[in-house]
Amino acid sequence: MTHLVTKNGFNYKGVIYVRDHDPRDAYEWDRYKKIYIAGGCFWGVEHYYSLLKGVIATRVGYANGDIENPSYEQVKHHEATHAETVEVTYDPEVISLTKVLEHFLRFVDPYSIDKQGEDSGHQYRSGIYFTDIDEYKVIKDYFDNNIKGEYSIEILPLANFYDAEEYHQDYLYKNPTGYCHVNMHLIKDEEKK
């Protein structure tokens, strides 16, 4: 279902969905935060974050593009301008936004334009898309203090997010030998679930 939300002066258009959870635990979900991460092929990015303590849920999709409900084929063939993106729902009491960003810099080349690993094209650009303006300063300050020189990471409000097709969701769990540009060994044992 598509929705439009205005928050902190920004309009956010995207997809509403609910992961399986007990409705009695709704208060728990209210404290969780979401951040949208683009770092190349979304299969590896999703798998990486799904392994971290404090990450509650991940979904792959298409963000900050020019058409509604794009398909993988449209994004792949540049008929849509979306970035392959992972919605990361996390518990800030367990993992902070700065820690989420630290992990991002472990596997992404912050200087690469429209390319990560073997994947190239505008859909593979790097970006952090936020839904709370207070997060912007945290993200910008973190990158400015931890990346030398100019970097090629979009830091933008989330304009839209559409779920990718179901076969893309949890792809590397379903296909453990599938292609992945992200090195899972970058996660320390004490950081894993």
pLDDT of 10 higher than 90: no
Percent of the chain with pLDDT over 90: 84
Higher pLDDT, 71 or 12: 71
- Residue 180 among the catalytic residues: no
Strand order, beta sheet including 161-163: 153-157, 126-130, 33-39, 83-90, 55-63, 161-163
Rounded CA gap, 77 and 73, in Å? 6
- Span 140-157, pLDDT tens digits: 999 999 999 999 999 999
- Span 54-113, pLDDT tens digits: 999 999 999 999 999 999 999 999 999 999 999 999 999 999 999 999 999 999 999 999
- Span 14-44, pLDDT tens digits: 433 334 445 545 556 788 999 999 999 999 9
Query: In b/e form, how buried is each residue of 117-140, taking b as 16+ CB within 10 angstroms?
Result: bebeeebbbbbbbbbbeebeebbe
Residue 32, domain extent: 2-191
Rounded CA gap, 114 and 112, in Å? 6
Q: 85 by DSSP, 3-state: which? A: strand
Q: What is the mean pLDDT of the chain?
A: 89
30, containing H or E segment: helix 26-31
pLDDT of 9 higher than 60: no
Cα dihedral 57, 63, 64, 69 sign: negative
What's the number of domains the chain is made of? 1
Higher pLDDT, 134 or 18: 134
Residue 114 backbone zone (phi > 0: left; psi -120 to 50: alpha; other: beta): left
pLDDT of 1 higher than 90: no
75, containing H or E segment: helix 72-76
SS3 content of the chain, % helix, strand, coil (to 5): 35, 30, 40
Indicate which residue of 35, 37, 38, 41 is catalytic: 41
What CATH number is given to the structural domain containing 172?
3.30.1060.10
> What are the residues whose beta carbons fall under 8 Å from the beta carbon of 158, sequence distance 6 or more?
12, 14, 36, 63, 64, 129, 130, 131
Q: Which of 156, 181, 185 is nearest to 171 (CA)?
A: 181
